Structure 1
Amino acid sequence: MEPTVPHKKPSGISRFQFENIDAQTLSEHYARFSTGVLIEPLTRRKGIAIEGSHYATGAFQIWSGTCRFGMQAKLLEPPEVFAIYLPHAGGFDVYTGSQRHEYGPDEAFVGDLSTIERIRFQEGRRHTAIAFGRSLVTKQLCELLDTPVSKKLEFSAKLDCSSSAIRRISMASALLWSSLANEPEHIASVKFTEHLFQSLALLLLAVVPHNYSVNLGRPLSPAIPRQVKRAVDFMVSNVSMEITIGDLVRECGCSARSLNAGFLQFKGISPLQYLRQIRLDAVRKDLINAKNQSTISQTAQRWGFTHMGRFAALYRQAFGESPSETVRSSGMRLPRP
């Protein structure tokens, strides 16, 4: 039995080779490299006998291998990543709470690993899997939409491997794998590899259903005018400060009428409405942040809201719930004012 053998590529890409390793060795690998995962064999007499390879760089990972005798992976510290499992043989089951989701040898999994408690791989299971950091995929979504997103991006799909979406993802994955599965001196640069991963993440957003698919399906706008872009940049940089339409006009070097027309055409709302939405999104993000120790009113004031009654009404209008309901649903307990 040989342990996990790590190789650090000259480009900064980490490579791990598995040759007939056992459950303890694989658990230790995850503990060193990723998040806490407890690997257990389905049949203790047989073990797991994993063979395969694992590559990682930055917020991306890709691995491919075979589990000869089956195993179960308990996610002790569920990672904040989206993952794609492309099957080559065998099936596996995903457990979320009391629910069990079965995936056959011709069904691909696309989902959020932070929502999963354990995965059960059948004997002879063989697959290629790709993982993307949640924050990076969310950032790409914001860039595609040209606006911040207020709701958590959610993927949860069981897709037939014969579908157009999985065929396209499989082809892109094969290109990525072939750029990595070479001798160390021939490995592609980390920059090139990251671009391939990013392209695959964009393809994921484009072809796999998620809660922002409808937004992405809308026609793209032409190039945003310079004054609108400058106004947005100014808002983001000074979001907690008092900003008037006069401040925006001076910053952008255009008339109030021109600026308002640009926002209505390219953002669908007025400049000050856009500013308000940025602030509301920032408040909501803080309210569900486990590290936030401020009260609701302190959080609102930090992002430029001075009238609490007006703020509460705007917040409910934007998100369909009160600020306190957001806090309760996230499981947070903020200090009382």
Structure 2
Amino acid sequence: MKFSYLGDDAEEVSDVLTRCIGPVRVQKPLNTALSYRYEFIAAGRVAFSRATSQGSLSIGQKGEVPKLLVLLPLHGAARVRIGRDDSLISIPGKAAILDGNRLSELQIEEARSHLSFVIDQGEIFRHLSAALERPVHGSIDFTPELDLTTGAGEILFKLSQIMATCLGDNAEIQELPSTLSHLSEGIVNLLVDTVPHRFSAALTEGEWLPSPRHVKRAVDFMHANLSAPISMTDIAEAAGIGVRSLQEGFKRFKGASPISYLAQLRMEAAHRDLLNADQRLSVAEIARKWGFRHMGRFANDYRKSYGCPPSEARRRLPLSDA
């Protein structure tokens, strides 16, 4: 998907940004002029945009979304308010990394232009899960600022310059979907591997080491029986070891107990069904399919994992279809 917008109406800008990054409200002071240009392209689960504005305005989230927004300023300053207490100044040379699960607001007073990445957090979870060999959920907690003049930040900014070539009317790179896909994957890998976040220590302290065979057998057994009422003893027998050894193996290599790990796998399966299953199936039916009997607990755990209630997840479309 690709489109561009040029206009001066705050409500129209609200509609455009809501379609691309999630529910936002754009406001401007009364009796003031506004000019806003927005160019957008989606490449799988990573989208890229360029925004240029003249005049004072604020862009605030109306609701939580499971996405990561990375702002790469080109010109002008903006104040970013994050949650109730945190804030930062977004200026050229510094990226602002915003978690859509924490409500934020961008306040602009003068001329401003920036590039941005919008990344589905599911893509980040998949990368982390593969690296750590275990399901990953919850807040990622990236550090909110990144120096764009050196190291990983400089590479990220150069990648953004390449992605910016997708936005022109005659951009040839947009006709190369595999190239866009690889660029998107590289951006996610770069962020996860180099920018500090809640799972950085696990990645650097050896939790990524390959699991021993008995742990792999246990995981394979779980995947094959996700919707079945299996017990710890069943898992241990399938792995060919005792329950205590199984618990120790999972604690060492998966960072969770076997039962917690199984619950995480089932939550992932329920999440996939909520996004993709036949809409005639209710949330309760999907939850029961994957072994969740207490709906209140399921809804609470789902929200902790994905940043929204399961009923809202049913209404969401993949980013590329926005």
Q: TM-score, normalised by structure 1?
A: 0.68
Match of 1:211 in 2: 198
> 238, 241, 252: which one pairs with 2:229?
241
- Letter of the aligned partner of 2:109 in structure 1? Q
Q: 1:84–1:111: 8 Å Cα contact kept in structure 2?
A: yes
Report the secondary structure of 1:108's partner residue: strand
Instruction: Give 1:1-337 correspondences, 5 Å limit.
Output: 14-42=1-29, 44-47=31-34, 49-99=35-85, 101-105=87-91, 106-179=93-166, 181=168, 183=170, 187-219=174-206, 223-224=210-211, 228-239=215-226, 240-243=228-231, 256=241, 268=252, 274-279=257-262, 281=264, 302=291
Q: How many equivalent pairs are there?
A: 286
- For residues 56-105 of structure 1, the C-alpha deviation after alignment (integer angstroms, 9 at most, x for no partner) is 13422111131122321122233221111111111111223443513142
Sequence identity of aligned pairs in percent? Answer: 18
**CA 1:303–1:278: 2 relative to 1, 3 Å:** farther
**Alpha-carbon distance in structure 2 between the residues aligned to 1:247 and 1:28:** 50
Contact 1:67 1:126 in 2 (8 A): yes
Q: Which amino acid aligns with 1:229?
A: K
Q: Is the 8 A contact 1:42 1:69 kept in 2?
A: no
The 8 Å contact of residues 112 and 156 in structure 1, kept in 2 or not, is answered as: no
Secondary structure, counterpart of 2:37 in structure 1: strand
Partner of 2:135, secondary structure, is coil
Cα offsets for 1:164-205 (capped at 9, x unmatched):
232121122223333554626652433331221121011111
The structure whose RCO (Cα within 8 Å, separation 6+) is larger is: 2
Q: Distance in 2 between matches of 1:210 and 1:229?
A: 27
Segments of 5+ residues of structure 2 without an aligned counterpart are 275-281, 309-322
What is the distance in 1 between the residues matched to 2:52 and 2:121?
26
With over 3 angstroms needed to count, the CA separation of the structure-2 counterparts of 1:277 and 1:97, relative to structure 1, is closer
Distance 1:36-1:52 versus aligned 2 partners, 3 A rule: closer
Q: Which residue of 2 aligns with 1:312?
A: none
**Secondary structure at the counterpart of residue 127 of structure 2:** helix
Structure 1 unaligned residues grouped into runs of 5+: 1-13, 305-322, 333-337
Equivalent position SS for 2:95: strand
Q: CA 1:74–1:151 in structure 2 vs 1: closer, same or farther (change >3 Å)?
A: closer
> Which segment is superposed worse, 81-90 or 273-282?
273-282
Q: Distance between the aligned counterparts of 1:244 and 1:117, measured in 2?
A: 43
- The answer as to whether partners of 2:40 and 2:167 remain within 8 angstroms in 1 is no
Distance 1:31 1:221, change over 3 A: closer
- Amino acid paired to 2:82: T
- Check the 8 A contact 2:58/2:108 in 1, yes or no: yes
CA deviations 1:9-46 (Å, max 9, x no partner) are: xxxxx112233543232223234455332222246321
Cα offsets for 1:93-140 (capped at 9, x unmatched): 122344351314243201202312422123111111101012221121
Residue aligned with 2:25, SS: strand
Could you report, residue by residue, the CA deviation over 1:231-250 in whole angstroms, capped at 9, with x for unpaired residues? 3121133245335667666x
RMSD (Å), alpha carbons: 4.2
Which position in structure 2 is the counterpart of 1:3? Answer: none
- Partner in structure 2 of residue 307 of structure 1: none
Task: Report the secondary structure of 2:252's partner residue.
Answer: coil
Paired amino acid for 2:26: I
Offset, 1:218: 2.2
Cα gap change, 1:113 to 1:31, in 2 (>3 Å)? closer
Distance change >3 Å, CA 232–CA 176, structure 1 → 2: same
